[in-house]
Structure formats: structure tokens, C-alpha cells
């Protein structure tokens, strides 16, 4: 079972504050990204990492990203997450 990075709640709160819908998916497993985010009519798959702790992709995450035909964004900070979804910081 996947554990949430310590900064995930801050990132989720910031995204929701700017009007995004956020579904936390870190328990899906098999390398699936931590968050599914919807804003401005677009959807984003976001993997949250924390450089101060683990900070690296697992082998399962690397395989999932390699096989996924769309974009998966990897973020470490609130500012990075907001930029990904198109909110100026």
C-alpha cells in the first residue's frame, strides 16, 4: 500500500483553494499517480514527491509512467503543482 508524501496535503489544499477538484489516488497502487486533478476543463495526473524525504520514483511508478500514453506530472512543491494546472504563482 502506498503512503502519501508529507507535502501531499499542502498540495491538495492549494489546488482545491484555486478551484480544482482533486481525487487522491495514491492507494490505487501499481504505480498509479497520487492525484487526479480537474480544473479549467482539463484533467491532470500528478505524482507528488518530496525531495526532503523519499523523493524518488518507485520501480512500479517508473514502469507506469513509461507505459502511459499521456502526460504524468511530477511535482515537489505547491508552486510546481499550481504551475502544472495553469495557475500563475
Task: Please name each of the domains of the chain with its CATH number.
Answer: 8-84 (3.40.1350.10)
pLDDT value of residue 18:
97
Write the pLDDT tens digit of every residue in 31-86.
999 999 999 999 999 999 988 776 789 999 999 999 999 999 999 999 999 999 99
Q: Please write down the HEC assignment for all residues of the chain.
A: CCCCCCCHHHHHHHHHHCCCEEEECCCCCCCCCCEEEEECCEEEEEEECCCCCCCCCCHHHHHHHHHCCCCEEEECCHHHHHHHCCCCC
- The pTM is what? 0.91
Amino acid at each position: 500500500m502506498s503512503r502519501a508524501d508529507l507535502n501531499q496535503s499542502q498540495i491538495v489544499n492549494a489546488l482545491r483553494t484555486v478551484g480544482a477538484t482533486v481525487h487522491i489516488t495514491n492507494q490505487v497502487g501499481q504505480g498509479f499517480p497520487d492525484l487526479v486533478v480537474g480544473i479549467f476543463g482539463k484533467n491532470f495526473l500528478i505524482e507528488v514527491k518530496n525531495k526532503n524525504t523519499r523523493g524518488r520514483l518507485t520501480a512500479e511508478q517508473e514502469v507506469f509512467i513509461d507505459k502511459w500514453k499521456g502526460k504524468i506530472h511530477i511535482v515537489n512543491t505547491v508552486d510546481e503543482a499550481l504551475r502544472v494546472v495553469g495557475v500563475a504563482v
